[in-house]
Amino acid sequence: MAEKKKIAFLVDTEGIEQVELTDPWAHVEKAGGVPRLLAPKLGRVRGFNHLTPADSFSVDVTYADASADDYDGAVIPGGVANADFLRMDEDAVELVKALVEASKPIAAICHGPWLLVEAGVVRGKMLTSFPSLQTDIRNAGGDWADQEVRVCDMNGWTLVTSRTPDDLPEFNREALKAFGLE
């Protein structure tokens, strides 16, 4: 039997837009994949429904202990605070760079692309995000489009991006394709 695909979900400890974590997570599980929650430290992380605290989730692996070799792809949920803290985490940034170097697909939604900007991996790529990130993406050498979902395949690496929770159906569909879980 083939080994199940492991998908890393990259979050910080607070401010995760909960539906952008739980909805793709459920789709990965339903498609036969194994989602794993990565964060700066072990323990629990807090989801939010926009600005309202919601559920907490157990962390599987810290960024310091993670290796791109252990995963078949990654999801970066949004949440303004989540993405802002996450892009300042050196280990998370290094993991994203390693995932890209290993040509592992990454799916980022809403404010999640901030981590991609920080990792320096958007140059020459077309992506979407929450509209407030478009200047950051352009300043990092990327192109921005106001679309439900963008799939960018360049040099053997696939990037899937979406704007908001409203785009989750399209985001999940394209992320599963990129992960080979369709």
Q: Residue 101 burial (CB < 10 Å; 0-12/13-18/19+)? A: exposed
Q: Tell me which of 27, 50, 111, 152 is the catalytic residue.
A: 111
How many alpha carbons lie under 13 Å from residue 127 in its C-beta half-sphere? 35
d(CA 33, CA 80): 27
Q: Which of 27, 50, 110, 152 is catalytic?
A: 110
- The alpha-helical segments, DSSP class H, found in the chain are 18-30, 80-86, 90-101, 113-119, 134-139, 168-179
* Phi/psi at 55 (5° precision): -80, 165
CA 51 to chain centre: 20
Phi, psi of 62 (to 5 degrees): -85, 160
Mapped onto helix, strand or coil, the DSSP state of residue 29 is helix
Active site residue 27: no
Fill in the DSSP letter of residue 3. P
Task: Give catalytic status of residue 111 as yes or no.
Answer: yes
Are 97 and 121 in contact by the 8 Å Cβ rule? The answer is yes
Catalytic residues: 110-111
